[in-house]
Amino acid sequence: MSQFLYLYRSSDTARQAAMGTPERAQQSMQRWMKWMRELETNGHLKDAGQPLERTGKVVRGHQAVTDGPYTEAKDLVGGFSLIEARDIDQAVELSRGCPILDGGGSVEVRPVMKMDM
Amino acid sequence: MELTEHLFRHVSGRLIAALVRIFGVHNLALAEDVVQDAFCRALEMWKVHGVPENPSGWLMTVARNRALDIVRKQRVSRTFAPEVARQLESEWTLGATIDEAFAFSSVRDEQLRMMFSCCHPQLTEDVQVALILNILCGFGAVEIANAFLAGRSAIAKRIARGKHVLAQSRGLFDLADADFAARLSSVRRALYLLFSEGYHSASAEAAVRDDLCAEAIRLVMLLLEFPDAANPETEALAALFHLQSARLASRLDAGGDLNLLVEQDRSRWDASTISKGVVLLERASRGNAVSVYHIEAAIAAAHATAPDVERTDWQQIVTLYDRLMTIAPSPIVALNRAIAIAQRDGPDRGFDALHALAGNERLKQYPFYAAALASVELRRGHAAAAQRHFATAAALARNAVERRFLERRQRECLTAIR
């Protein structure tokens, strides 16, 4: 088994659209919980991860500290999870059920680097 | 923990009420943003950490903190609710004032004031209903449009028009206002329309109807918690909602098709809701006031408490429709009266009563007038005439559920002819 990081990306508009009305928010919530639970039951969820605030600071060079990333930025990382899968193909396959895709967001699937000895 | 059904929608109206108490109704849009933001945070936190023990309390706390933050940052640039403006200015009273707005009793009172504000005389009834559904019940324009079989943009315009009038007003309606009685009657009328929309909804989705009826009941019960609003007319309205909604489940069969009252499985009627309705109607009848709601509730009670169609007190129902015709005549009331006569006096007398309404333009467009004629003809043994009337009715059907029902009746006549 290998480990993969899911980075959940969405724009602010996609995030608002997924929210929509209270009833839509509830449905969206239920889909997320169902998807997460499935990953967990099938032993693929190593760590559910954490949600991230959409603002912070960006440090570049030694002096420059700027506000950001900007919320207008397309595809801001809003959270992450750590997944266990056979290979990248399976990790990609598992991500297809992620509700963020319905709202126009994306899942970035990144293999965790392994120490090959 | 699992999410309770409609949690977000139910909390939405309460959060808006608390936030409007702080921000003022002119900042309704800001209050809505804060609610939206609280829901976004919930979505992101809960999907990872699970639903908390007290989800609505969690949402309240997030909204409260955000409100505190907004007031601190914007108290110079923005004017908030005039009633609490002074207390928001000082750090000494700020926190307590905001906590107070989120207290159970404040949220209840503020929802009431919002309900009265939505029924502003400048707004037409359809706008009032859309506004109540949006602000107090948390329905979006798309969901309201689905229930009303109206266009989404038409509903969005109604809501926007209503919010514009609300934002222009100096504050939420004052429940001690001299216009209270007049406004109360508009509120009842709006709730009545909201309930009817659910009960008779043209929408094919049963769930939508249940939601609207449940919301009408929730709001009328909220109204009854306020002593000045809890008069016999409001109680009669609450009785009517209970007695009607108790029979809602059996109006549609398992396949989602309409059932005739005759065919309904009365064991599926909700006995506890019926008895609540009966108790409310008794309470409503303590004075001399007799409103349209009293009579409609009494008719609903006569149906809801009868063991079957034969043992229904049709004499009493005809008398009640007669009274309704004197205080609030309408073609639909006249039609229902004629149908009751057909039950009391037999199909020939029923046919005469229905036939007397033949010239009415509104009934000519109403599928259930032709359907009533068809039923009476069928009972008189005129299957061919019945079949023609059902065909007319099916052509007038306003949605697929009605059409399927009427076409089924038509086919039954064809079988009877052969």
Q: Where are the domains of chain B?
A: 1-102, 306-418
Q: Closest-CA residue in chain B for A19?
A: B40
At A11, the pLDDT band (50, 70, 90 cuts) reads: confident
Phi, psi of B104 (to 5 degrees): -55, -50
Cβ-based contacts of A11 with chain B (< 8 Å): none
Alpha-carbon distance B171 to B183, whole Å? 15
End-to-end CA distance of chain B: 59
Question: Which residues in chain B touch residue A25, judged by CB atoms under 8 angstroms apart?
Answer: 8, 39, 42-43
With an 8 Å Cβ cutoff, is A53 touching chain B? no
Question: Between chains, do B6 and A16 touch, taking CB under 8 Å as contact?
Answer: no
Residues 6+ apart with CB under 8 A from B44: A51, A78, A79
The pLDDT confidence band at residue B198, using thresholds 50, 70 and 90, is confident
From chain A, pick out residues whose CB is under 8 angstroms from the CB of B140.
Answer: 20-24
Do B368 and B338 contact (CB within 8 A), yes or no?
Answer: no
pLDDT in tens, B167-192: 998 889 999 988 999 999 999 999 99
Place of tokens 């969005």: B156
Tens-place pLDDT, residues B355-403: 999 988 889 998 889 999 999 999 999 999 999 999 999 999 877 878 8
Mean pLDDT of chain B: 90
The whole-angstrom distance between A111's CA and the closest CA on chain B is 21
Q: Of A22, A49, A78, which has the smallest distance from its Cβ to B9's Cβ?
A: A22
CB B369, CB B389: distance < 8 Å = no
- Cβ neighbours around A52 below 10 Å, total: 15
* pLDDT, position B159: 96
Q: Which of A26, A49, A51 sits opposite B7 (nearest CB)?
A: A26
DSSP 3-state of B360: coil
Residue A11 and residue A75 in contact, taking contact as beta carbons nearer than 8 Å: yes
Contacts of A50 in chain B (CB under 8 A): 48
DSSP state, residue B255: T
CB-based contact, A68 to chain B, within 8 Å: no
Which positions ≥6 away from B35 have C-beta within 8 Å?
Answer: B12, B15, B16, B19, B63
A48 token code pair: 């559910």
Question: pLDDT per residue over B258-284, tens digit each?
Answer: 666 666 778 888 999 999 999 999 999
Cβ-proximal residues to B399 (8 Å cutoff; 6+ apart), any chain? B149, B202, B203, B204
State the angle between helix axes of B292-304 and B232-245 in degrees (0 to 180), rounded to the nearest 10. 30
Q: Does A102 lie at the interface with B, CB-CB under 8 angstroms?
A: no
Strand-by-strand arrangement of the A76-85 sheet: A45-51, A76-85, A2-10, A106-111
Q: Which of B196, B244, B207, B239 is nearest to B220 (CA)?
A: B239
Q: What would the mean pLDDT of A49-66 be, rounded to a whole number?
A: 83
Tokens 């000519």 sit on residue: B364
Residue B162: how many CA atoms within 13 Å on its side-chain side? 27
Give the domain B306-418 fold: 1.25.40
Task: Return the pLDDT at B204.
Answer: 57
C-beta pairs of B210-216 under 8 Å, 24+ apart in sequence: B210/B248, B211/B6, B211/B139, B211/B147, B212/B133, B212/B147, B213/B241, B213/B244, B213/B245, B213/B248, B214/B245, B215/B133, B215/B136, B215/B137, B216/B191, B216/B241
User: Which among A6, A10, A11, A23 is the top mutation candidate for probing chain B, defined by the most B β-carbons within 10 Å of its own β-carbon?
Assistant: A23
Which ranges in B200-284 belong to alpha helices (H)? 206-224, 232-245, 248-251, 271-284
Amino acid at A70: Y
Q: How far is A80 from chain B (nearest CA, A)?
A: 9
- Tens of pLDDT, residue by residue over A65-79, are 777 776 556 788 999
- The Cα of A115 is separated from the nearest Cα of chain B by a number of Å equal to 29
- Asked if A89 contacts A2 with a C-beta cutoff of 8 angstroms, the reply is no
- Percent of chain B scored above 90 by pLDDT? 68
**Rounded-to-integer distance, Cα B338 and Cα B387, Å:** 20
What is the length of chain A?
117
Tokens of B316: 């009493």
* Cβ separation A50–B12 shorter than 8 A: no
User: CB distance B43–A25 less than 8 Å?
Assistant: yes
Nearest residue of B to residue A32 by CA position? B47
Q: Flag if B3 and A21 touch (Cβ within 8 Å).
A: no
Residue B324 and residue B333: Cα distance in Å, rounded?
7
For residue A49, the chain B residue with the least C-alpha distance is B48
Can you tell me the mean pLDDT for B12-23?
A: 96
Write down the pTM of the prediction.
Answer: 0.87
CA distance A9 to A28: 16
Nearest-angstrom CA–CA distance, B147 and B187? 20
B96: confidence class by pLDDT, cuts 50, 70, 90: very high
H-assigned helices in B84-205: 85-89, 91-101, 104-118, 125-131, 141-148, 152-168, 180-199
A25 and chain B in contact, CB less than 8 A: yes
B131 min Cα distance to partner chain A (Å): 14
Window A:80-99, CB contacts with B under 8 Å: 81
Q: Which residues contact B207 (CB under 8 A, 6 or more apart)?
A: none
| Structural contact between residues B148 and B155, judged by C-beta atoms closer than 8 angstroms | yes
The residue to which tokens 């063991």 are assigned: B307
Distances (CA, A) of B262 to B117, B265, B346, B392: 42, 9, 15, 22
Establish, for the pair of chains A and B, how many residue pairs have beta carbons separated by less than 8 Å: 69
Given an 8 Å threshold on Cβ–Cβ distance, is B8 in contact with A15? no
| Residue positions counted in chain B | 418
- Residues of A in Cβ contact (< 8 Å) with B6: 22-23, 26
CA distance to partner chain A, nearest, from residue B141 (Å): 9
With H, G, I as helix, E, B as strand and everything else as coil, classify residue B173. coil
For residue A48, the chain B residues in CB contact (below 8 A) are 48-49
- Alpha carbon B368 to its chain centroid, in Å, reads 22
Indicate if the pLDDT at residue B162 is higher than 80.
yes
ipTM above 0.90, yes or no: no
